[in-house]
Structure 1
Amino acid sequence: MVFLMKCSPKKPCCKQVIIKMHVLLLKEPRDGESGPDPYIKELASHGHKATLIPVLSFKFVSLNTLSDKLFQPEKHRGLIFTSPRAVEAVKMCLEAEERREEWNSSVKDKWNAKSIYVVGKATAALVRNLGLDPVGEDTGTAEVLSRVIIEREDTNIPPLFFPCGSIKREVLPTALRENGVPLETLTVYQTAEHPDLEKNLKNYFTEQGIPASIAFFSPSGVKFCLEVVRRLSGEQLTQIKFAAIGPTTQDAMTAEGLCVSGTAEKPTAEHLAAAIAKALQ
């Protein structure tokens, strides 16, 4: 946030004073990228200092089953990815050299002849790294993606294959089922609270004090963090500007009684930083 000191006729020389607001990002680090996290970088461009604390830990499961299905594309109409972790699970199935060679030589092209659906730019970028051509990266939410799928697919098809997490929301499966679009799901990772979450939050509040803004990136983040944040903030909780990465997270925050000061128009670093910067003005 930038404040300009008013000049007077007697003091024509003005100085610009920049006050950095502290922003706490409750999210996972971006996979496979060097340099600063894009959310930290975007907030810095608005003059704010952001700190990232990981909220979740992940355990991959059913990778043998996932591998079998990936190498039998003829049994499915296409793929659906709504999280980077699901793509990471696929990547793990391709680590063996012979599997990777088979994927690159023929299997990925068979999938590309079908529909590859994604939510969000981060997931889309990881899917492209697999050699696949995704549709839907601008949808932003599973609800919007489900409408895209329903418009593009009919009911007389083999099922779409949806590798997902253990605590996925049921919005997309329910919408497809109600509209007769066949879907097969497989849980490929389990989500739990990060083992160092409470310790890291306590260290942050001890060292940096109450942040000006806290951003949540998932309903799981709200579930795992909010009680600790409330305890550490005490009476100053109402001074914090809370922000959400999207409407689903905003709903989870509102349900817990939080006043949400800003929600990203799209789930990107640029849009979230703009929402937080506006809330802190």
Structure 2
Amino acid sequence: MHVLLLKEPREEESGPDSYIKELASHGHKATLIPVLSFKFVSLNTLSDKLFQPEKHGGLIFTSPRAVEAVRMCLEAEQRQEEWNSSVKDKWNMKSVYVVGKATAALVQSLGLNPLGEDTGTADVLSRVIIEREDTNIPPLFFPCGSIKREVLPTALRESGVPLETLTVYQTAEHPDLEKNLKNYFTEQGTPASISFFSPSGVKFCLEVVRRLSGEQLTQIKFGAIGPTTRDAMTAEGLCVSCTAEKPTPEHLAAAIAKALQEPNTGS
């Protein structure tokens, strides 16, 4: 069956995206359409803060893009050697928190030791941080995107854990999104399943998906990468057929495969 994945490709991977490979192993043909485009900002400020670990109590990364911004700083200013020789070790003496395995892997590639890769959501990560950190530490440093949810900052603030955020990338709709969706529906028809990977993906895609699928919308099994995305889909009136237990290719592919085996209620 045809499965449509509304997500960004993984830049660091060679060959097919891991979600496409995993769905193929279940016998489904997956296609990936990028939903978002990113513009990096405030990299000079980010660089300054990265090289002053003594001013912060630790690091927080909740997206691969934020880690990418760090890598850009190290490469642009040719400070990789300084980072490797002393700075990364100073950060590793503190806590480096992450959400999800993809972000954790990128953080490890910077030479940092991530904590919390199994948390899956910012909500769960915030509870881990609150349990581990004192309120008298220097502020944790959180490089993030322009449309981050306020769950983690709010939870830390309410518990008195100091936090400093810096917006290092802005998120916008991918310029070719509508054209790519139209081409897909024209060539492949309405897919058996569509999966969303972020609330912003829901915001940017849903109207076009509704228009292109028409009366067949109720036949589509909609999947979500996690509870935050599922809630955004439900808020828009979508019937969500499956949610990945964890935000990994294996968990999402298994959830989609199971949903596609179930009879369609058309609700």
TM-score, length-normalised on structure 1? Answer: 0.92
Q: What is the CA distance between 1:98 and its match in structure 2?
A: 4.0
- How far, CA to CA, are the matches of 2:77 and 2:208 in structure 1? 45
Provide, for residues 52-109 of structure 1, a one-character-per-residue CA deviation record: whole Å limited to 9, x for no partner: 0000000000000000000000000000000000000000000046411100110000
- How far, CA to CA, are the matches of 1:108 and 1:135 in structure 2? 15
Secondary structure in structure 1 of the residue aligned to 2:257: helix
Alignment partner, residue 228 of structure 1: 208
- How far, CA to CA, are the matches of 1:278 and 1:121 in structure 2? 23
Structure 2 alignment gaps of length 5 or more: 262-267
Provide, for residues 128-160 of structure 1, a one-character-per-residue CA deviation record: whole Å limited to 9, x for no partner: 000000000000000000000000001011000
Q: 1:128 aligns with which of 108, 116, 119?
A: 108
The answer as to 2:16 corresponding to 1:36 is: yes
* Segment of structure 1 superposing worse, 28-37 or 80-89: 28-37
- How far, CA to CA, are the matches of 2:246 and 2:104 in structure 1? 14
Provide, for residues 14-65 of structure 1, a one-character-per-residue CA deviation record: whole Å limited to 9, x for no partner: xxxxxxx000000000121101101000100000000000000000000000
- How far, CA to CA, are the matches of 1:35 and 1:129 in structure 2? 19
- How far, CA to CA, are the matches of 2:157 and 2:220 in structure 1? 41
Secondary structure in structure 2 of the residue aligned to 1:155: coil
- How far, CA to CA, are the matches of 2:118 and 2:15 in structure 1? 24
- How far, CA to CA, are the matches of 1:96 and 1:149 in structure 2? 31
Cα distance, 1:230–1:98 mapped onto 2, change above 3 Å: closer
- How far, CA to CA, are the matches of 2:243 and 2:77 in structure 1? 43
The answer as to 2:48 corresponding to 1:68 is: yes
The answer as to 2:94 corresponding to 1:141 is: no
Aligned CA RMSD, in angstroms, stands at: 0.6
Alignment partner, residue 226 of structure 2: 246
- How far, CA to CA, are the matches of 2:136 and 2:170 in structure 1? 32
The answer as to 2:264 corresponding to 1:278 is: no
* Segment of structure 1 superposing worse, 75-84 or 88-97: 88-97
Alignment partner, residue 151 of structure 2: 171
Secondary structure in structure 1 of the residue aligned to 2:148: coil
- Provide runs of 4+ in structure 1 moved above 6 Å: none
- How far, CA to CA, are the matches of 1:30 and 1:95 in structure 2? 19
Greater gyration radius: 1
Structure 1 alignment gaps of length 5 or more: 1-20
Secondary structure in structure 2 of the residue aligned to 1:280: helix
- How far, CA to CA, are the matches of 2:33 and 2:190 in structure 1? 15
Secondary structure in structure 2 of the residue aligned to 1:271: helix
Secondary structure in structure 1 of the residue aligned to 2:115: coil
Q: What is the CA distance between 1:242 and its match in structure 2?
A: 0.2
- How far, CA to CA, are the matches of 1:149 and 1:96 in structure 2? 31
Secondary structure in structure 2 of the residue aligned to 1:266: coil
Secondary structure in structure 1 of the residue aligned to 2:27: coil
Secondary structure in structure 1 of the residue aligned to 2:86: helix
- How far, CA to CA, are the matches of 2:245 and 2:233 in structure 1? 16
The answer as to 2:170 corresponding to 1:196 is: no
The answer as to 2:28 corresponding to 1:48 is: yes
- How far, CA to CA, are the matches of 1:96 and 1:137 in structure 2? 28
Secondary structure in structure 1 of the residue aligned to 2:75: coil
* Segment of structure 1 superposing worse, 147-156 or 91-100: 91-100
Q: 1:208 aligns with which of 184, 188, 209?
A: 188
TM-score, length-normalised on structure 2? Answer: 0.97
Alignment partner, residue 98 of structure 2: 118
Q: 1:105 aligns with which of 85, 88, 96?
A: 85
- The number of equivalent residue pairs is 261
- How far, CA to CA, are the matches of 1:128 and 1:186 in structure 2? 21
Alignment partner, residue 96 of structure 1: 76
Secondary structure in structure 1 of the residue aligned to 2:30: strand
Q: What is the CA distance between 1:191 and its match in structure 2?
A: 0.1
- Percent identity at matched positions? 92
- How far, CA to CA, are the matches of 2:199 and 2:17 in structure 1? 21
- How far, CA to CA, are the matches of 1:264 and 1:39 in structure 2? 12
- How far, CA to CA, are the matches of 2:144 and 2:186 in structure 1? 37
Secondary structure in structure 1 of the residue aligned to 2:119: coil
